[in-house]
Structure 1
Amino acid sequence: MNFLIACLTQQHDLRLVVVAACLALIGSAVGFRLLRLAALSHGARRMALSTGSALAIGVGAWTTHFVSMLAWLPGIPVQYQVTGVVVSLLVAVSGAGLATPLALSESVVSRVLAGLVMSSSLAAMHFIGMDGLLLPVAMTWSLPIAGLSIGWIMLFGVGAYVVYSRRASALQQVSALVALTVGIAGLHYGAMSAVQMDANFSAAALSESGRALAFAVGLAASMVVLTAGLLTGVEMWGRVGALRHLREAIDAMPDGLAFYDSDDRLRIWNSRYAELCPELAEQLRPGIPFTALIDDDLARGAVKDALGREAEWRAERLAERRRLSATMEQRLSDGRWLRVQDRRTADGGVVTVVNDITDLKRNAEILSSARDAAEAANRAKSEFLANMSHEIRTPLNGVIGVAQALAATDLSDRQTEMLELIRSSGATLQTLLSDLLDLARVESGRMTLREEPIDLARAVREAADLYEASAREKGLQFFVDIAPEAQIWVEADVVRLKQILTNLVSNAVKFTAKGFVSLRVTAAPLADGTSSLRFSVEDTGVGFDAAAKARLFARFEQADGTITRRFGGTGLGLAICRQLAEMMGGQLDCESEPGGGSAFFLTVPLKTAEAPAPVPAPKSMDAEAPAEQALRILLADDHPTNRKVVELILAPLGVELAIAENGEQAVDLYRDQAFDVVLMDMQMPVMDGLTATRRIRAFETEQRSNRTPVIMLTANALPEHVRAAHDAGADEHLAKPFSAPELIGLLAALTSDAAAESEAA
């Protein structure tokens, strides 16, 4: 190291040494920058940039070498051979040209080879240039020092090309430039310190050839510096243009945008940002703190949500802004709504985006009002259906109940015929009412299935038995065929399953004048490996064509408009049945042809179940029961017709019936007397049946008395009414209109259970 320092300080003009080092750095910087641009380009542009890179690095190294030679003060006259100078320049540029394609590769191996080629060419340039010197003395070399200088350029040259790539960071780029500059300087001055001469002479003036070399080197150095300045200027101009385009793009954004630095001071904003905050437009200037802007908003009362709580709102706003990402909505006093989004940058700055969402808020309010109106309409419809159900069921219960009671008396044939017309008309009205309520529940999504273990064969036969007599009366053959594999217990909603089957069977009987009606049940595997139940109802009735089939399952539709007049009906049944089938996870379809009969197919998933343990049959109630076993029944109902119906049904049983016209009277009677059963209407004046039932249960708890069965005997028949009855403490719910067997059977079951519990106690 001492020999290198001695060479620099004693044998060189240090001013020119500094110039040479600067030229090495400038040439390397220009060459590597052009090399990076070439890596990002294609075609002719890539070739031009690659050539420029090779020239910049080669000429830069060559000028560094010969400026250093001009700085050399050996103490003897020095002359230069033109051939050696020119050849050394060609070697430097050629080596850089060969290294450039290798340096453009992403492969580290290729870049290592580029560094070796470049370093070798620079070493060759140096020694060819030294060989072109014309000295009056013999010049020899210290081989160890010369070899060390060659190793030096190899090490730093390879390192520079490996570090510098198109993906290199700023630090890596600077490191590569420094490495190549140090390598070139170390090569020259290390090799010069290895020079040894035999004699000393006094210093001589620069020779003519030396002046020519100085001119050539100065010209080359000027070209390198000029190229560096031009490249720097072009890049700066490009950046200015890019910034101008970026500014134009930001100004054209439909949203307000502002950038605040790490001290939360405003630096950049667009015109939309000023438009959204017109009161602050005059205050927007570079460097204004964000806190000053919100303080001005608060002072003017611009933020409606902050009125009366300015300090609290300010703290909340600043706390949100300190988060990495925050979005908030602000309601302004002028009626506008703004959505403000803050996003923190890596250096601690904040990008704020502001949108005017007044229209969105207004539309949301309109939609919310429309939704509320729709929900109110839906509630009104539900209330209307519930009220209509109650109001229709109440007189219908009187019609059917009185007809049943009248049927138990002695009647003439003519009276029996008229009574049958009353009974059938009442049954039709009851079916229509149930269909309308079912359709409303399905549409509102409030209908749910209540699955439980059922005896499938029994349920199917019970559904078919309802219409077997009607079929026989019309002279039709009636078949029910249940395959052995279908005579099992399954999980299903027996009420809804029977509803579908009875609808299909009743339609088959209604639309068939001669021939047969059949109901078949089978179990079969599906394509996905699961099992299903298949119910088929076939008839030899009027049938229908493909066009009629397309609208058959729509509401209020039948296969033919004339059929409605010939056979009656609303066309609701099949629409409800298909929706029920879909709720069960199955499907309902049909096949038919005009005059050739019809076939309807119901397919539902098979869910097997275990048969429940047998339950002892309840004791029956009949008119011959001993007088001492007469039931004491409390009936609470505000409607005189309904009270009369119950009296007529229970009269043959010899029960003791106490009557109350509202819930309050029922509670008073219950407190004064003991009853075996309570029949409670739900909707009554003074006190409704639900409140009365809760009062009765509370009284039983108070007195620690036995629980008396309560039957909610009401025209409120919707599922929510059933749940409300059970929640209030009722044991059963029997919807009006009801039949005498239904009421008597329910009384028998409840009184039998109550007696069993008393004996067990």
Structure 2
Amino acid sequence: MDKTKILLLDDREENLLALKAILNRDDIAIYETTSANEALRIVWDNEIAVALVDVQMPGMDGFEFAETLASNPKTREILIVFVTAISKETTYAVRGLKSGAIDYLYKPLDPYITNAKVDALIRLSRSQREIREKNRLLENYATIVTNSPDIIATVDPETARILSINPSVHTILGLPPQSLVDTSMLDLLVDPLNSGLKEVLISRSYMEGQTIVTEDQFYGRLREPLWLELRIMFKNRLLFINLHNIEKRKAHERELVEAQAVAEKARKVKESFLANMSHEIRTPLNGILGIANLLDATELDSSQRNLLDMLTQSSGSLLNILNDILDISKMEEGKFSIIPQPTDLRNVGKSIMDLLKFKGDEKGISLGFYVDSKIPDCVMVDGMRLNQILMNLVGNAIKFTHQGSVNLRIEHDGLVENHHQIKFIVADSGIGISEKNIKNIFSEYGQASEETSHHYGGTGLGLTISKNLVKLMKGDLKVKSEVDRGSEFYFTFLLEEDAKTSQKAAVISFNDLPPFTDKKVLVAEDNPVNSLLIKKYLTTWKIATTMVVNGQEALDALAKSEYDLIILDSRMPVMDGFETARYIRNTLHLDVPILSLSATVLTEEVQEALQSGMNDTLSKPFQPAKLHEKIETLMYSLI
């Protein structure tokens, strides 16, 4: 395979040396320079696939360089990754993405993350190149089909006898036209008994001036079958038949099938990238949240408690951003599910306002919450998604309000065919949105203006997610706003009343969860921090725990002892969780319960876990109580 050409652009030689050392591989050809102008010459003369570009450089900076590449058809397909040591604020990320980059690497560079991202970009570049080449082939076939001359013939509808035929028959079928006059057109068909033309003749389905379209295979040169499209018109007691060579179109259709396969491959590349991204972020995030759980169970002074709260809040924000990105991907592919469940709207609203109260207190603004008394105690709605929508809207309102108030109102707008029409309103006295900028706020990564993005930060994904979620739940998120007077976001759902009462789960410390009696669990987890956390949880619950770092070590442990439960990380070196589970089920024939730990939340990975023989899955980051619940279910319910 040809080497993938990668450009390294950095104004400092030592940074280029560091990048070259990380990317020193046989499958990569590296072009390096400290000059943006020299880099432009390199990309013009060479088919560069990926460019790793420093953001801050004298003269032309990284953003301007990326914009220059994006503006030229010859270079706009280059995949650009910014390498930077500057702030990770969303302002820089959004500007970078708008200038043409698709990702960031932050200094000091992690060799494993850098190589993983470059690998993903190389695969993506190759897939995109294949798609472009296939598209060019398809366009060529379409041109050939469109410009092909057609056979034109007049035929006796009673006998199918050819009365006249033009010279194109010689070009297409290799038959001299004069030899075909007075012969039956059915004699030219590969399968006259099952032909579309014969069906037309027998059924006499034609009417004066009406065109009938069918397809048949004809004998071409050297008696090879050739597909022709027949456009048949009955006029003046004759059949006028236009025969168009569609072999090219058939080939085009075959190419389309192949192109679809290429597109499917590109889709899988995207899924793989999302899975890798999710895994790379969720694995350390699980460690951060897990350590926060361990710290929460210790004696802390007020200062330490505040720091722990900020750590938990920041980790939660990062998790929300990651979930937003994955949610958008699921929505684009139509894989996003809305699951109505019995829900108490009062609990949903109160929980959100209680959770965000400290943010309001920090800014000195009041938070108000009102629920119409006519709203039932329990309705059928996807409470988790509703909570996500309202959390985004109320959080946004607090962010853009400096004084005054933010209010969440849930109003009853009457009954429609036994369904309650319920309106959700989030109103604030914040900075407001100008009429010309309102159209931007629901777009992906969009905000009211660049100034708003600079001053307030944020990914711009929250309102996009909320808009799409409301639409999936049969509503429409709208906004009314006036600059310096505040904004009001609102939507309406038709919800069915439910007689059940929703229950809000209490948050329980892992120390307070009940222990297990005489249970042995085998855990395969290669990440040392996550391994430490899981062992801490299990030993606290009085479980005899054996820890290993890959699937092969898990199989070795199974050869020496029996266990009540096996917990397998899905991605491990040597032998991953899926392969290990299949070996346990198909070769060892053990029915011991298996729980999959995964750092991705993609449906495909969950399905693969279940198909490999695992009984259940748990996504990182997880709460200890959820792990306890899964263990209890698997060890006792599956007996």
> 1:756 Cα deviation (Å)?
7.2
Q: What is the SS of the residue equivalent to 1:523?
A: strand
Q: 1:284: which partner in 2?
A: 179
Equivalent in 591, 602, 609 of residue 725 of structure 1: 609
Q: 1:675 to 1:338 in 2, by over 3 A?
A: closer
The AA in structure 2 aligned to 1:636 is A
1:422 shift after superposition = 4.0
Aligned match of 2:282: 393
Residue 644 of structure 1 pairs with residue 532 of structure 2: yes
Distance of 1:456 and 1:731 partners within structure 2: 33
- Which runs of no fewer than 5 residues in structure 2 stay unpaired? 1-148, 202-213
Cα separation, 2, equivalents of 1:594 and 1:433: 31
- Output one character per residue of 1:192-231: Cα deviation in whole Å (capped at 9) or x when no partner: xxxxxxxxxxxxxxxxxxxxxxxxxxxxxxxxxxxxxxxx
Of structures 1 and 2, the larger Rg is shown by 1
The residue number in structure 1 matching 2:199 is 323
2:303 and 2:505 map into 1 onto residues whose CA distance is 43
Match of 1:744 among 595, 619, 625: 625
Query: In 2 relative to 1, CA 426–378 (structure 1 residues): closer, same or farther, beyond 3 Å?
Result: same
More helix by share: 1
The within-5 A match list for 1:199-598 is 255-260=151-156, 265-266=161-162, 268-271=163-166, 274=169, 276-277=171-172, 279-281=174-176, 283-284=178-179, 286-288=181-183, 294=188, 314=190, 316-320=191-195, 322-324=198-200, 327-329=215-217, 332=220, 338-341=227-230, 353-357=242-246, 360-361=249-250, 364=253, 371-409=260-298, 419-525=308-414, 531-598=420-487
Is the 1:511–1:567 contact (alpha carbons within 8 Å) kept by the matching residues of 2? yes
Greater CA drift, 558-567 or 364-373: 364-373
Shift of 1:613: 10
Deviation at 1:396, TM superposition (A): 2.3
Residue 573 of structure 1 deviates from its aligned partner by 0.8
**Which residue of structure 2 lines up, in the alignment, with residue 685 of structure 1?**
573
Question: What corresponds to 2:596 in structure 1?
Answer: 712
Classify 1:678/1:610 alpha carbon distance in 2 versus 1 (closer, same or farther; 3 Å).
Answer: farther
**Alpha-carbon spacing, 1:616–1:271, altered in 2? closer, same or farther (3 Å):** closer
**In 2: Cα distance, 1:276 partner to 1:725 partner:** 58
Q: What SS does the aligned partner of 1:606 have?
A: strand
For 2:446 and 2:182, the matched residues in 1 are separated by 75
Counterpart CA distance in 2 for 1:375 and 1:427 is 33
Aligned 8 A contact 1:401 1:649 in 2: no
Q: 3-state SS of the aligned residue for 1:378?
A: helix
Call closer, same or farther: CA 1:288–1:604 in 2, change over 3 Å: same
CA displacement at 1:364 relative to structure 2: 4.9
Q: Are residues 729 and 757 of structure 1, via their aligned partners in 2, closer, same or farther at CA, if it must alter by over 3 Å? A: closer
Q: CA deviation at 1:437?
A: 1.0
1:336, 1:356 within 8 Å by CA — same for their partners in 2? Answer: no
**Higher strand residue share:** 2
Percentage of matched positions with identical amino acids: 28
Displacement of 1:630: 6.4
Secondary structure in structure 2 of the residue aligned to 1:442: helix
| Alpha-carbon distance, 1:378 to partner | 2.6
Structure 2 Cα separation of the partners of residues 260 and 523 of structure 1: 73
How far does residue 339 in structure 1 lie from its aligned partner after superposition? 1.5
2:42 corresponding residue in structure 1: none
Q: Distance in 2 between matches of 1:658 and 1:341?
A: 73
Q: Rate the CA distance shift 1:677–1:522 in 2: closer, same or farther, 3 A.
A: farther
- Please tell me whether the aligned partners of residues 455 and 488 of structure 1 are also in contact (alpha carbons under 8 angstroms): yes
Q: 1:580, CA displacement in angstroms?
A: 1.1
SS where residue 563 of structure 1 aligns? helix
| One-letter identity of the residue aligned with 2:522 | L
SS at match of 1:587: coil
Structure 1 729/484 Cα, relative in aligned 2: closer, same or farther at 3 Å? farther
What are the within-5 Å matches in structure 2 for residues 79-158 of structure 1? none
**What is the aligned partner in structure 1 of residue 54 from structure 2?**
none
Q: Return the offset for 1:506.
A: 1.4
Residue 491 of structure 1 deviates from its aligned partner by 2.5
**Alpha-carbon RMSD:** 4.2
Deviations 1:496-540 (Å, cap 9, x if unpaired)?
A: 221111111211222223322222222323788854221111222
Could you tell me which of 545, 559, 572 is aligned with 1:657? 545
Instruction: Give the C-alpha shift of residue 330 in structure 1.
Output: 5.1
Partner SS, residue 717 of structure 1: coil
5+ long unaligned stretches in structure 1: 1-252, 295-312
- In the alignment of these two chains, the number of paired residues is 476
Residues 394 and 749 of structure 1, relative CA distance in 2, 3 Å threshold = closer
Give the alignment partner of residue 517 of structure 2, picking from 619, 622, 629.
Answer: 629
**SS of residue paired to 1:484:** coil
Q: Secondary structure at the match of 2:230?
A: strand
Distance 1:452 1:731, change over 3 A: farther
Name whichever of 381-390 and 663-672 sits farther off: 663-672
Decide whether aligned partners of structure 1 residues 367 and 677 sit closer, same or farther in structure 2, where only a CA change above 3 A counts: closer
- 1:242-263 Cα offsets, whole Å, 9 max, x none, are xxxxxxxxxxx96511325756
Structure 1 residues 319, 724: closer, same or farther in 2, change over 3 A?
closer
SS in 1 for 2:534: helix
Aligned-pair distance for 1:716? 1.9
Pairwise mapping of residues 181-200 of structure 1 onto structure 2 (< 5 A)?
none
| Compared CA separation, residues 731 and 319, structure 1 to 2 (3 A) | closer
Deviation at 1:570, TM superposition (A): 0.5
| CA displacement at 1:653 relative to structure 2 | 3.9
Q: Report the 3-state secondary structure (helix = DSSP H, G, I; strand = E; otherwise coil) of the residue aligned with 2:523.
A: strand
Distance in 2, matches of 1:697 and 1:612, equals: 41
Q: Which amino acid aligns with 1:542?
A: I
> What's the secondary structure of 1:546's corresponding residue?
coil
CA, structure 1 residues 632+543, in 2 after alignment: closer, same or farther (shift >3 Å)? farther
Secondary structure of the residue aligned to 1:734 is strand
Q: 1:677 to 1:621 in 2, by over 3 A?
A: farther
CA distance in 2, matches of 1:450, 1:581: 13
Change beyond 3 A, Cα 1:711–1:472? farther
Cα shift readout 1:143-186 (whole Å, capped 9, x = no counterpart): xxxxxxxxxxxxxxxxxxxxxxxxxxxxxxxxxxxxxxxxxxxx
Provide Cα deviations, 1:92-132, integer angstroms capped at 9, x if missing partner: xxxxxxxxxxxxxxxxxxxxxxxxxxxxxxxxxxxxxxxxx
Aligned counterparts of 1:621 and 1:747: Cα–Cα separation in 2: 8
**Structure 2 CA distance, aligned partners of 1:615 and 1:659?**
34
TM-score, normalised by the number of residues in structure 1: 0.54
CA contact (8 A) 1:552 1:559 kept: yes
**2:491 counterpart (602, 614, 620):** 602
CA contact 1:682–1:712 (8 Å) conserved in 2: yes
Q: What SS does the corresponding residue of 2:436 show, helix, strand or coil?
A: helix
AA matched with 1:467: L
Q: Are the structure 2 counterparts of residues 479 and 375 from structure 1 closer, same or farther at C-alpha, using a change threshold of 3 Å?
A: same
